[in-house]
Amino acid sequence: MAELLPLITKSLAPYLDRRVWWLAFSGGLDSQVLLHLVWRLREDARSSNTPFPEIRAIHVNHQLQAASAAWAVQCEQQCAVYHIPFTLKVVTVSGRRRGVEDLARDARYREFETALDSGDLLLLAHHLDDQAETLLLRLLRGAGVNGLAAMPASRALGAGELCRPLLATPRAALEAYAAAQQLTWLDDPSNFDTHYRRNFLRQRVLPLFAQHWPDYRQSFGRAAALQAEAAQLLHGYINQDLAGMCADDGSLDLRALALLPDIRQRAILRQFIINRSELALSSAQLETIAAQFLQSSADRQPAFRLAAGVLLRAYNQHLFCETAVAETSSPLPSELAWDLNSELLIPGVGRLVATRGGVFVPTEPVLIRFRQGGERCRLAGHAHHRPLKKLLQEWRLPPWQREVLPLIYCGGELAAVADLAVCDGFSAAVGEEGWKIRWVPEALT
């Protein structure tokens, strides 16, 4: 069986420049082995005077069992033995929508994510048996390539990254290491409760596999790695497609999308939404959205609420996926003063930012107002006044943005229309330096 110390030395070598390595410590066999290995790496580095990242352990108490608090204490004591600082996070897992395992996992990763500072590394003790189980569980859920890629050996997590240095190592190798090093660990009794899907696979199903396919773990691990490669390739192609179909404002060109075969349309739509909102759609949601927005009358369809604060809506045959949309709309102020030297944040409207080097030259203090109807303006360099309504149609500004469009007034006159146009009498002469206005609508901030 492969030696674990050289293996982990190699897999963690790319991360030696990180400030902190956080070890996700449940106190079970696997994370106890990882703790011991990482401690040995640090001892080796100390004895050779080599710089080494700071190691800290983090334990999440999900409060799901009577003994949870006592375990946390034992975890802390274990870490003290190795002089590894210990952080405890206590979470409350509630809700019956999904299995308690999934909820606990989500809560745990949220805690990990908050703990990580920029560039920190989180170490998890998942091993090859965990990977094989994950692949099977995903298969049983009917997952596609992304799901069947199972757990990646590393990925971004919040401001840092996570890494699973033991992912290619079978659990038996960890058991052998723990025995050889005379380690002690906590045994979570819930690991034997076959009501949990993962435990059922582990206790009842996989031992049967092992009788006929003794190398099933390695085969499953390879299958997952192949799916991960396929997923990565597809991802690259889909993002290339997307790049050619997105306008500068981030919207997706529905006319161009409609020309593609169905499966490509759906893959692009799914990726567009993930990129904008980080929400992964179920197949049913994807079908509904495709049916709603991939029709000629897409512009007349109501907004589709994907999740709290995330809206999909179409305008001018372009699909907009907006995040951070206010859930309730408060009335707009009738007038606001704006000192261009500082950013102006208007709830429900967004941010107005002015920087030097543009063409807008205010003649008097700047006031922000909103459309009342009937506004007219003469654009810089144009001979006639025109209704603002017509101009907004020509500029193809989505209707929901027209409602909150900041109008910039100087001395009672319309001087600029957000960052879309500057009116006559307010634009810089040749050689004169003015302001550049930028409006970041609330849904895009």
Judged by CB under 6 A, the residue of 120, 129, 130, 241 near ligand ATP is 130
Min dist CB 125 to ligand ATP, Å, is 3
Residue among 321, 324, 325 nearest 268 (CA)? 321
Residue range at the interface with ligand ATP (CB under 6 A); choices 52-60, 219-227, 266-274, 389-397:
52-60
Site residues for ligand ATP, 338-367, by CB under 6 A, read none
Q: Which tokens in the block code for residue 83?
A: 């002089």
CB 367 within 8 A of CB 412: no
Please list the residues that pair with 121 across neighbouring strands.
Answer: 21, 161
Please give the Cα distance from 305 to 345 (Å, whole number): 25
* CB of 277 vs ligand ATP, minimal distance in Å: 27
Least distance in Å: CB of 202 to ligand ATP?
10
Instruction: Name residues whose C-beta falls within 8 Å of residue 51's C-beta, 6 or more positions apart in sequence.
Output: 16, 45
The CB-of-278 to ligand ATP minimum distance in angstroms stands at 22
Among 125, 149, 201, 281, binds ligand ATP (CB under 6 A): 125
Residue 187 marked in a binding site: no
Within the chain, how many helices (H) and strands (E) appear?
15, 20
Nearer to ligand ATP, 22 or 320 (CB): 22
Nearer to ligand ATP, 178 or 405 (CB): 178
**Token pair listed for 265:** 């349309």
Site for ligand ATP in 12-51 (CB under 6 A): 24-26, 28-31
Q: What string of DSSP letters covers 75-95?
A: HHHHHHHTT--EEEEE-----
The reply to whether 28 sits in an annotated binding site is: yes
Q: Is 30 marked as binding a ligand?
A: yes
- Is 158 among the annotated ligand-binding positions? no
Of 38 and 397, the one with the shorter C-beta distance to ligand ATP is 38
Q: How far is the CB of 188 from ligand ATP (least distance, A)?
A: 6
**Nearest distance from C-beta of residue 30 to ligand ATP, angstroms:** 3
Stretch that binds ligand ATP, among 54-62, 236-244, 257-265, 312-320 (CB under 6 A): 54-62
Q: Give the Cα separation of 335 and 370 in Å (integer).
A: 8
Nearer to ligand ATP, 72 or 267 (CB): 72
CB of 194: closest distance to ligand ATP in angstroms?
A: 15
Q: Does 202 bind ligand ATP (CB under 6 A)?
A: no
Which tokens sit at 238? 């889909």
| 184-192, Cβ contacts within 8 angstroms, sequence gap of 24 or more | 184/32, 185/27, 185/28, 185/29, 185/32, 186/26, 186/27, 186/28, 186/71, 186/74, 186/75, 187/28, 187/29, 188/26, 188/28, 188/65, 188/71, 189/65, 190/64, 190/65, 191/28
Would you say 31 or 277 has its CB closer to ligand ATP? 31
Of residues 163-192, those binding ligand ATP (CB under 6 A): 188, 191
CB of 222 to ligand ATP, least distance (A): 20
Shortest reach from residue 288's CB to ligand ATP, in Å: 34
With CB under 6 A, what is the number of residues at the site for ligand ATP?
17
What's the CA gap between 90 and 88, in Å, rounded? Answer: 7
Compare residues 84 and 124 and give the one whose CB is closer to ligand ATP.
Answer: 124
Identity of the amino acid at 305: R
The distance in angstroms from the start CA to the end CA of the chain is 53
- Sheet of 252-253: strands edge to edge? 252-253, 318-322, 310-315, 304-307
Instruction: Answer yes or no: is 250 a known binding residue.
Output: no
Rounded to a whole number of angstroms, the minimum distance from the CB of residue 159 to ligand ATP is 19
Q: Looking at beta carbons only, is 128 or 352 nearer to ligand ATP?
A: 128
Strands 160-163 and 121-123: parallel
Residue 60 sits in the site that holds ligand ATP (CB under 6 A): yes
DSSP string of 242-297?
A: HHTTB-TTS-EEHHHHHTS-HHHHHHHHHHHHHHHH-PPPPHHHHHHHHHHHSSTT
Binding mask 97-116 for ligand ATP (x = CB under 6 A): -----------x--------
CB 109 within 8 A of CB 10: no
Using rule CB under 6 A, residue 126 touches ligand ATP: yes
124 binding ligand ATP? (CB under 6 A): yes
Q: What is 162-176 written as a DSSP string?
A: EE-TTTTS-HHHHHH
| Nearest CB to ligand ATP, comparing residues 120 and 130 | 130
Contacts with 423 (C-beta within 8 Å, 6 or more apart), sequence order: 377, 378, 379, 380, 413, 414, 415, 416, 417
Binding residues, as ranges, are 26-31
Contacts with ligand ATP by CB under 6 A lie at 24-26, 28-31, 58-60, 108, 124-126, 130, 188, 191
Binding residues for ATP, as ranges, are 26-31
